[in-house]
Amino acid sequence: MASTLNSPSSLFTLPISSIQTPFLPKTPELGKKKPFNLVSKRAVSCKANNGKQNNDDSSSSLGSFDRRDVLLGLGSLYGATNLVSDPFALAAPIYAPDLSQCGDATVPLKKSPGTNVSVHCCPPISTNIIDFKPPEFTKIRSRPAAHLVDAEYVEKFQEAIKRMKALDEKDPRNFTQQAKVHCAYCNSAYEQMGFPSQDLQIHNSWLFFPFHRLYLYFYERILGKLIGDPDFALPFWNWDSPKGMTIPAIYADSTSSVYDAKRNASHQPPVLVDLDYSSDKNLSKEEMIKANLCVMYRQMVKGSKTKTLFHGKEYRMGYAPDPGAGTIENGIHLSVHKWVGDPTQPLKEDMGNFYSAGYDPLFYAHHANLDRMWNLWKTKLPKQNTDFTDADWLDSSFLFYDENANLVRVRVRDCIDSKNLGYDYQSVNIPWLESKPTPLAKSKLVAHRHSPGQAIAAEANNIIATSTAFPIVLDKPVRVEVPRQKKTTVDDDEEEVLILQNIQLDRDSSVKFDVCINITDTDTPVGPGDSEFVGSYTNIPHGHHHQGSKLNTYLSFPISDALEELELENEAKIVVTLLPKEGEGLVSIGNIKIDRIRD
């Protein structure tokens, strides 16, 4: 099995089934003095996993008794008092993992579905953990757009990466070690502290932006240290601007230390990135630019109007992984991963799979731009967005090795303002702020299309009766009539969302489907530039030790603007169309509903 994989070949070992997962909870690094004696066998049973608790948008992800038992156990560990009177008042952030308990990571094997291989991506162990302190700096480092940097910068950057690659392979700052950090945190090398039956996963939840911000922060500090330049700042891949839409030249130069051979050969410059990628489209350069800008507007402006829509769903101690990604994470983020990855590699390495993504230096430029989106979301959008203030989010923590190879524990609250970390982004145009989608052009409409303002008749032959049809297997385009409550008041803080519940699929399947409203036929091409298109769901294969091979997740699509643009605000039913784009028949949807949410 291992021989079918060749990237990074030396990493593969035994099939996952041969790994013994210790049942007993791990010793937390925060409190070695106290054992987890309150964590009962029942409390850590697997009954809450396999995504069952992800079925809806209710916030409790674990049976309350189970969770309380564990929280009590952890409470004594973490020095909480007053447990008896109010056990539920205990904070339950996701704690940094115990590196000494790191196990092999799980990578689903595409060629034989249901089979996993194991990858070693554990970091070196250090028993000395330092709590993060904000760095001292005299000036804010400005991360430059990768297509705008000068020769001097390129030389420095390439030299830094070269030195990172040349470090001893056991040095946690070594290039490969750094790449493995991503693999460990997202292919279930770690279990949740106190919940050995739940994998620790930093994707598909509100940990996505902070984790990757901190990961890049330490990466950047290491590079700066290696070239003796504490002001060194990582470049960002400015894919949201027409001139930045190809793989930046510095990364495409095959003689460069930041080149990676494992990329899609037909996506080299001057081919433009597709921010809504499932398979290659036949668009002209101008059409692709326009489509990309619309995707940007759709996901950043329309699609990220609440904290949860932007950041992703809450993920607290004891919750099953993958509660639900934010709009950008599931959208542009995954599209670019897939677009860059090499389709001729077994698992679309490097960028096309999380376990290997960190081996491509372009990964860090991609994520720098995503990180920049977090800053833009708070400063440049029509709506004044702010981050969560939930202590469980703020106190979630991770471990990274810093530029001096010290192991540092850092919390989400340490990173919510990038300026506190000493960096910001070069200010460049944001052309997509004006790229508002419009209702389907008349020329595209089919003959019998109803005029805007008139909901499509329910009798249309392929509409599925909502009450009986679920779960729906997406093996062909599916249309569903979904009831909604007419809007009676205007409330700007409220967003109407289309919610797909119990999205079920194999973790190792590549899946993408589009979601549209109010279209009469499934043959008219609908894309991100059209008001009718409300978003997509994408899965990149990723493994889990404990959660089984099934992924059960949830996604909400904001539709307030679309309803307004299509003049459907007074309709009591909306026709929703799901259009499979990749992995037909591999995903089923448990329910679709329309709701209103606010932060």
Q: Is 398 assigned a catalytic role?
A: no
Q: Which residues pair with 157 in a beta bridge?
A: none
Tokens of 371: 């990180």
Closer residue to ligand C2O in complex, CB, 212/298 = 212
Closer residue to ligand C2O in complex, CB, 203/413 = 203
- Asked if residue 182 belongs to a known ligand binding site, the reply is yes
Residues 6+ apart with CB under 8 A from 189: 102, 103, 104, 105, 121, 122, 183
CB of 594 to ligand C2O, least distance (A): 30
Which of 68, 203, 507, 546 touches ligand C2O (CB under 6 A)?
203
Tell me, rounded to whole angstroms, the distance of Cα 384 from its chain centroid: 23
Tokens of 378: 């708070």
Quick one: which of 479, 482, 481, 483 has its CA closest to 462? 479
- Asked if residue 203 belongs to a known ligand binding site, the reply is yes
Determine which one of 354, 398, 400, 533 is catalytic. Answer: 354
Determine which one of 182, 267, 544, 546 is catalytic. Answer: 182
Tokens of 147: 């297509």
Per CB under 6 A, contacts with ligand C2O among 345-364 are 354, 357
Sign of the CA dihedral with 393 first, then 395, 398, and 400 last: positive
Rounded Cα distance, 216 and 210, in Å:
10
Q: Is 367 assigned a catalytic role?
A: yes
Q: Is 182 assigned a catalytic role?
A: yes
Which of 26, 143, 182, 544 touches ligand C2O (CB under 6 A)?
182
On the 0-12 / 13-18 / 19+ scale of CB atoms within 10 A, 490 is exposed
Rounded Cα distance, 46 and 52, in Å:
11
Q: Is 333 assigned a catalytic role?
A: yes
Tell me the number of residues near ligand C2O by CB under 6 A. Answer: 9
CA atoms within 13 A on the CB side of 227: 24
Tell me, rounded to whole angstroms, the distance of Cα 85 from its chain centroid: 38
Q: Is 337 assigned a catalytic role?
A: yes
Per CB under 6 A, contacts with ligand C2O among 104-163 are none
Q: Are the C-beta atoms of 332 and 295 separated by less than 8 Å?
A: yes
CA-based angle 554:355:314, to the nearest 5? 30
Closer residue to ligand C2O in complex, CB, 203/411 = 203
Tell me whether strands 407-411 and 397-401 are parallel, antiparallel or unpaired.
antiparallel
Closer residue to ligand C2O in complex, CB, 204/531 = 204
CB of 329 to ligand C2O, least distance (A): 8
- Asked if residue 367 belongs to a known ligand binding site, the reply is yes
Per CB under 6 A, contacts with ligand C2O among 275-334 are 333
Q: Does 372 bind ligand C2O (CB under 6 A)?
A: no
Which of 99, 149, 186, 296 touches ligand C2O (CB under 6 A)?
186
CB of 177 to ligand C2O, least distance (A): 16
- Asked if residue 546 belongs to a known ligand binding site, the reply is no
Q: Give the active site residues.
A: 182, 203, 212, 333, 337, 354, 367
Binding-site sequence positions for Cu cation:
182, 203, 212, 333, 337, 367
Could you list the residues that contact ligand C2O (CB under 6 A)? 182, 186, 203, 212, 333, 337, 354, 357, 367
